[in-house]
Each structure stands twice: as structure tokens, then as C-alpha cells.
């Protein structure tokens, strides 16, 4: 790839991840997580470039093309991976922004690495963007990039979207570098959040921390206006809807149910193995239903797919041990010959296998303690044109704002989880169809293309972008 782009995505990760196999050969895999799921289809339909880390430390790569996308790899040293990615991004910001469900680490070396890596991303973007280009910076790993990039290239139109929740002022206030982060974000023309609550947290913080006035969605700086707005992210509904109608996916879904022993109810969880996802809470609820005898042996199986994630960060290591112990205990206590209550997979799957799993599942169980949006919930809805299937959904996800016809739960309340799991399993087909129809209408209308179009339209004319999208 040569030349500069008029449209540039800047994200910590590229959509593909370079992995080194045990025999030493390098290969490419799809990167984990919701950001890549959302941005990849958007990018494939637009001309532009995507700058990001390629997932391997200490390796410099030239720009290349893959799946119709122009990719610009940005190198990170092993030490930067440790301090900037595992450290400041995932041991400081991630828990702080997710309601401190784990304790954030505040470490000056990590902060220094975060600054210097953000500077590198800003320089790469400045180099790759043509005069007047639109640059869309993504997520919490790169919050300093908007201001750094503006200093280098004041001609650019700069957008920023935060995929995770923006915390209440009281929590954000703990951050020793709170002012720098807010000033970094204010380098953008448009700062997007998942929910209106995140946008208003940010505006209030700007007033309290920097004394900046705001009115409606607009924050007034000395020389310009920054627009803040909610844009709830979504999935490629049409693609998933078409995929699950394909005969080989339908056949695979049937096969999965047979492989699971044809239980009455298949319950499914699909997550990165992350402590924000409430995996332990849902398994506890399921285990207690078996123990209380409210589920008969053999009546229901729980399939939990947990993608390996951030495995060198302490909290994630501990979580893996905890979940695996819990699965072992529940299976140990309730399995019978020919019946295993929980099927646990610490593996990644391709989209076709995931679609077949969604189709095969009667109840999708999504119980995060906090989640910016949760695309898994919307993917499940997209896969059920049969209008069957129930979604049990945590009130603490962004998706809960839109998917009001799900079986909403407070994941901190194990009795509530148990009650809603049973309600979902015992619902009539008519009741399921009523709920599913409304949720499908919502996801079909607000799909990922609409999300990107609304953001980019607002970015190109931020002063006129004052309307906030309503939830269903
Ligand atoms: P997060 O971004 O925090 O990981 P989301 O639910 O928003 O959470 O997005 C997760 C994305 O990762 C979804 O698109 C989902 O399909 C995908 N995913 C989750 N688990 C797996 C897995 N085991 N294999 C492949 N893809 C997965
Ligand atoms: C979430 C974050 C993304 C991140 C993804 C996967 O979706 O919002 O920014 O890319 O998780 O996490 P990882 O650390 O593997 O990139």
C-alpha cells in the first residue's frame, strides 16, 4: 500500500493478530473482542486505512492488505506491551472504567509508556492521513491521541469513540493523570460514547476538572467546540441473519444439540474470559438450580465459551483459575454417566461455528457486572429469525438500554439470575416470539452501518449533530 488516506481508523489492535505457532511459524488470526467485530465490516465497505498494533511484540512490519482492508502495523516492544497494553490500558483504565470491579493499579512507569505509545500512534496517523482527512480514533488505549494528533495536524477532522463505559466523576477522579486524559480526548472534534450517561459524565467532568462550560452536547473551549454524543454500537445484522439461514449452519446447529445429548434446554455463554463478564455469577446461578432440584438432571446443559484474553495480567490469570475450579465443582457434583451439566471451552471459534451455537441455544446468558455495550447479546438476536430463543441480559450492559424485552437481571443478585433463567426456560413459544420480534426490529434498524454512518455524519458536521439517538 502506498500513499495517504482520506479516511483512517486508529485503534490499538489491527483486525488480525499475528501469532507465532509452537513450531515457530507465524500466522494471522482474527483479533478478539467487540471493537474488531464492529469496525471490520465498516472498514470493508469504505476506502481507507486502519493503523494499529498487530499483536506480536518486537516486530516491525510493512503496511499490507487483508480482506479488502489497508492495514498499517504499529510496532510495540515487549516492554511496551507490558507497561502500556497489559499495564496502563488493562490493569489501570479497564477496571477503573468498569466500576472498579477489580482494583486499578496506578503506576507511573505504566503512565509514561502509555504517553509514549500514544505519541507513536499519533505520529503514524499524522503520516498516513492526507490533507483534511477524517481520522477516527478508537477506545481507551488511545485517549491521548486526539490532542497529540491535532498538534501535529490541525487540518484533520478527528473523531474519538469510547467502546467501554465512561465512569462517573467520583471514580474517574481517582486517576492521578485525570487532567491529561480529559485534555487528550478534547483534541477530538467529536467524542462518542455508547450511552448518553457516559457522554454526560464526561461533560460534567470537563466542567469540574477544567472549568469548561457546556450547553447541550457541546463543550466550549477557547478556540473551538467539542461535540459529545452517544452512539450505541451494533452488529452486522443482515450478514448474521443470512448466515444462519444457510443449510450448513442449520445442520451444524442440529448436530451441536445432538452432541450435547439433546437436552430440553441449551444455555449458552460466549465471552472473552474477563472478570467484567459475570461468568462466575451465571454459573453459580445455574449450579444452584441443579442443587435446589429446580432443574432435573439432564434437563439443561450450559455451554460456556470463554475466549482467552489478556492472559498475562494477574486478574485474568486468577479469573481463569476461579472459573475452571467452579466448572469442575459443579460438574463433579451434578454430572451423571451420559450427562455433563457444564461444557466449558477456553477457545476461540470462527464466526460460522459461533452462529451455529447461537442458533442451537435456547437461552443466551449475558450477565456482565459492567459492559459498554455487549455485542454477543445483539449477535444472538440477529441469529434468531425463528423468533425462538430467550436472552437473559444484565442490567449493567449498554445493550440493556435497547433490548428491554430480554429477561433482565441484576448479576449481583444470584436469586434474580436463577429466577430469570427459569423464566426464560419455561416461557411459551408465543411469549418468546413476542419478545424476540421486538428486539430483532431494534437490532435490524440500528445495525453497525447505521452506527458508523451516524458517527461519521456527525463528525463531518459536528455543530449540527445535536440530536441524541433514543433507545427503544
Ligand atoms: P468484548 O468487546 O468485551 O469482548 P462484546 O460482547 O462486545 O465484548 O464482543 C465480543 C466479540 O467477540 C463478539 O463479536 C463475539 O462474537 C466475539 N467472541 C466472543 N467469544 C468468542 C469466541 N470464543 N470465539 C470467537 N469469537 C468470540
Ligand atoms: C474490548 C475493548 C477493545 C479490545 C477488545 C479485546 O472490546 O473495548 O478495545 O480490543 O476488548 O481486548 P484485547 O485486549 O485483546 O484487544
Q: Note the pLDDT tens digit of each residue in 427-457.
A: 999 999 999 999 999 999 999 999 999 999 9
pLDDT at 289: 98
User: Whose Cα sits closest to atom 12 in ligand 1?
Assistant: 33
Gap between the Cα atoms of 430 and 71, Å rounded: 47
Q: Tell me which of 470 and 461 has the higher pLDDT.
A: 461
To test the pocket of ligand 2, the residue of 11, 35, 82, 91 to mutate (highest count of ligand atoms within 8 Å of its CB) is: 35
How many whole angstroms from 37 Cα to the centroid of ligand 1? 8
**Confidence check: pLDDT of 154 > 90:** yes
pLDDT at 469: 36
Helix (H) or strand (E) holding 160: strand 157-161
pLDDT at 461: 81
**Tens-place pLDDT, residues 292-351:** 999 998 999 999 999 999 999 999 999 999 999 999 999 999 999 999 999 999 999 999
- Residue 307 Cα distances to 33, 219, 387, 398, angstroms: 9, 39, 27, 21
Q: Which atom of ligand 1 is nearest to the CA of 305?
A: 23
Gap between the Cα atoms of 433 and 108, Å rounded: 53
Gap between the Cα atoms of 351 and 384, Å rounded: 15
How many whole angstroms from 11 Cα to the centroid of ligand 2? 10
Q: Which ligand is nearest to the CA of 312?
A: 2
Q: Helix (H, G, I), strand (E, B), or coil: what is residue 154?
A: coil
pLDDT at 2: 54
pLDDT at 463: 57
Q: Helix (H, G, I), strand (E, B), or coil: what is residue 468?
A: coil
pLDDT at 68: 84
Average pLDDT, the chain: 95
Gap between the Cα atoms of 347 and 271, Å rounded: 10
**With bands split at pLDDT 50, 70 and 90, how would you rate the model's confidence at 24?**
confident
**Mean pLDDT, residues 178-204 taken together:** 98
Q: Which ligand is nearest to the CA of 271?
A: 1
How many whole angstroms from 62 Cα to the centroid of ligand 1? 28
Contacts of 87 (CB under 8 A, 6+ apart): 105, 107, 109, 110, 113, 114
ipTM value of the model?
0.99
Q: Which ligand is nearest to the CA of 375?
A: 1
**Tens-place pLDDT, residues 256-274:** 999 999 999 999 999 999 9
- Measure CA 132 to chain center: 30
**Confidence check: pLDDT of 22 > 90:** no
Find, among 12, 47, 48, 10, the residue nearest to 32 by Cα.
12
Mutual orientation of helices 279-292 and 414-426 as an angle, nearest 10°?
70
Residue 170: CB atoms within 10 Å: 8
The DSSP line for 350-378 is: -HHHHHHHHHH-SEEEE--SSBS--HHHH
To test the pocket of ligand 1, the residue of 11, 12, 17, 32 to mutate (highest count of ligand atoms within 8 Å of its CB) is: 32
The C-alpha cell of 69 is what? 482492508
Gap between the Cα atoms of 374 and 378, Å rounded: 7
Q: Which atom of ligand 1 is nearest to the CA of 373?
A: 7
Find, among 410, 469, 413, the residue nearest to 442 by Cα.
469
How many whole angstroms from 112 Cα to the centroid of ligand 1? 30
Residue 177: CB atoms within 10 Å: 18
How many whole angstroms from 92 Cα to the centroid of ligand 2? 14
Gap between the Cα atoms of 14 and 128, Å rounded: 15
Contacts of 176 (CB under 8 A, 6+ apart): 106, 111
pLDDT at 202: 98
Q: Which atom of ligand 2 is nearest to the CA of 89?
A: 14
* Strand residues in 360-439 grouped as ranges (E): 363-366, 390-394, 407-409
The radius of gyration of the chain from alpha carbons, rounded to an integer in Å, stands at 22
pLDDT at 175: 98
**Mean pLDDT, residues 196-207 taken together:** 98
Q: Phi and psi at residue 60, in whole multiples of 5°?
A: -100, 125
Q: Which atom of ligand 1 is nearest to the CA of 163?
A: 2
How many whole angstroms from 252 Cα to the centroid of ligand 2? 29
pLDDT at 356: 98
Find, among 435, 425, 434, 375, the residue nearest to 266 by Cα.
425
Specify the pTM: 0.96
**Confidence check: pLDDT of 58 > 70:** yes
Q: Which ligand is nearest to the CA of 398?
A: 1
Residue 265 is classified by DSSP as E
Residues with CB under 6 A from ligand 1: 32-34, 37, 270-272, 305, 307, 348-349, 354, 373-376, 379
Q: Which atom of ligand 2 is nearest to the CA of 140?
A: 9
**Confidence check: pLDDT of 29 > 70:** yes
pLDDT at 422: 98
pLDDT at 442: 98
How many whole angstroms from 323 Cα to the centroid of ligand 2? 20
Q: Phi and psi at residue 271, in whole multiples of 5°?
A: -150, 160
**Confidence check: pLDDT of 467 > 80:** no
**With bands split at pLDDT 50, 70 and 90, how would you rate the model's confidence at 21?**
confident
pLDDT at 220: 98
Q: Helix (H, G, I), strand (E, B), or coil: what is residue 298?
A: coil
pLDDT at 106: 98
Q: Which atom of ligand 2 is nearest to the CA of 372?
A: 8
To test the pocket of ligand 1, the residue of 354, 359, 361 to mutate (highest count of ligand atoms within 8 Å of its CB) is: 354
Q: Which atom of ligand 2 is nearest to the CA of 90?
A: 14
On whether the CB atoms of residues 156 and 150 are closer than 8 A, the answer is yes
**Confidence check: pLDDT of 142 > 70:** yes
User: Whose Cα sits closest to atom 14 in ligand 2?
Assistant: 310
**With bands split at pLDDT 50, 70 and 90, how would you rate the model's confidence at 10?**
very high
First-residue to last-residue Cα distance in the chain: 42
Contacts of 291 (CB under 8 A, 6+ apart): 333, 334
Find the angle CA(142)-CA(144)-CA(149) to the nearest 5 degrees. Answer: 100
User: Lowest-pLDDT range, 63-67, 87-91, 378-382?
Assistant: 63-67
pLDDT at 20: 80
Amino acid at each position: 500500500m502506498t500513499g495517504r488516506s482520506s479516511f483512517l481508523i486508529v485503534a490499538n489492535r489491527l483486525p488480525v493478530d499475528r501469532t507465532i505457532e509452537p513450531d515457530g511459524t507465524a500466522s494471522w488470526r482474527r483479533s478478539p473482542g467487540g471493537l474488531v467485530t464492529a469496525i471490520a465490516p465498516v472498514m470493508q465497505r469504505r476506502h481507507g486505512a486502519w493503523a494499529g498494533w498487530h499483536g506480536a511484540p518486537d516486530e516491525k512490519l510493512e503496511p499490507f492488505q487483508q480482506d479488502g482492508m489497508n492495514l498499517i502495523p504499529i510496532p510495540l516492544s515487549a516492554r511496551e506491551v507490558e507497561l502500556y497494553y497489559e499495564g496502563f490500558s488493562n490493569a489501570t483504565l479497564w477496571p477503573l472504567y468498569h466500576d472498579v470491579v477489580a482494583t486499578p493499579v496506578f503506576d507511573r512507569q505504566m503512565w509514561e509508556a502509555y504517553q509514549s505509545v500514544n505519541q507513536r500512534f499519533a505520529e503514524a496517523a499524522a503520516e498516513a492521513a492526507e490533507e483534511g482527512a477524517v481520522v477516527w480514533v478508537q477506545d481507551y488505549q488511545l485517549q491521548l491521541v486526539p490532542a497529540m494528533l491535532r498538534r501535529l495536524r490541525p487540518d484533520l477532522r478527528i473523531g474519538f469513540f469510547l467502546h467501554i463505559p465512561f465512569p462517573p466523576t467520583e471514580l474517574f477522579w481517582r486517576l492521578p493523570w485525570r487532567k491529561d486524559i480529559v485534555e487528550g480526548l478534547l483534541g477530538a472534534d467529536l467524542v462518542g460514547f455508547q450511552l448518553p450517561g457516559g457522554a454526560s459524565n464526561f461533560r460534567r467532568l470537563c466542567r469540574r476538572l477544567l472549568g469548561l462550560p457546556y450547553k447541550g452536547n457541546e463543550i466550549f473551549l477557547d478556540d473551538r467546540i467539542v461535540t459529545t454524543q452517544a452512539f450505541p454500537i451494533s452488529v452486522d445484522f443482515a450478514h448474521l441473519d443470512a448466515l444462519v439461514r444457510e443449510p450448513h449452519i442449520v445442520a451444524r446447529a442440529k448436530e451441536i444439540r445432538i452432541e450435547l445429548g439433546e437436552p430440553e434446554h441449551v444455555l449458552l455463554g460466549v465471552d472473552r474470559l474477563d472478570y467484567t463478564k459475570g461468568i462466575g455469577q451465571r454459573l453459580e446461578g445455574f449450579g444452584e438450580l441443579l442443587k435446589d432440584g429446580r432443574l432435573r438432571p439432564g434437563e439443561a446443559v450450559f455451554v460456556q465459551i470463554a475466549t482467552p484474553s489478556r492472559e498475562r495480567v494477574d486478574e485474568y490469570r486468577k479469573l481463569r483459575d476461579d472459573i475452571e475450579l467452579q466448572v469442575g465443582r459443579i460438574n463433579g457434583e451434578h454430572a451423571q454417566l451420559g450427562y455433563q451439566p457444564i461444557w466449558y471451552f477456553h477457545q476461540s471459534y470462527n464466526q460460522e461455528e459461533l452462529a451455529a451455537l447461537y442458533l442451537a441455544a435456547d437461552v443466551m446468558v449475558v450477565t456482565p457486572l459492567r459492559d459498554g455495550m455487549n455485542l454477543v447479546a445483539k449477535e444472538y438476536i440477529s441469529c434468531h429469525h425463528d423468533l425462538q430463543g430467550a436472552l437473559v441480559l444484565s442490567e449493567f450492559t449498554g445493550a440493556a438500554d435497547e433490548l428491554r424485552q430480554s429477561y433482565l437481571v441484576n448479576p449481583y443478585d444470584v436469586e434474580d439470575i436463577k429466577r430469570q433463567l427459569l423464566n426464560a426456560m419455561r416461557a411459551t413459544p408465543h411469549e418468546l416470539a413476542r419478545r424476540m420480534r421486538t428486539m430483532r426490529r431494534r437490532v435490524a434498524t440500528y445495525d453497525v452501518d447505521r452506527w458508523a454512518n451516524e458517527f461519521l455524519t456527525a463528525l463531518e458536521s459536528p455543530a449540527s449533530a445535536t440530536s441524541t439517538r433514543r433507545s427503544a
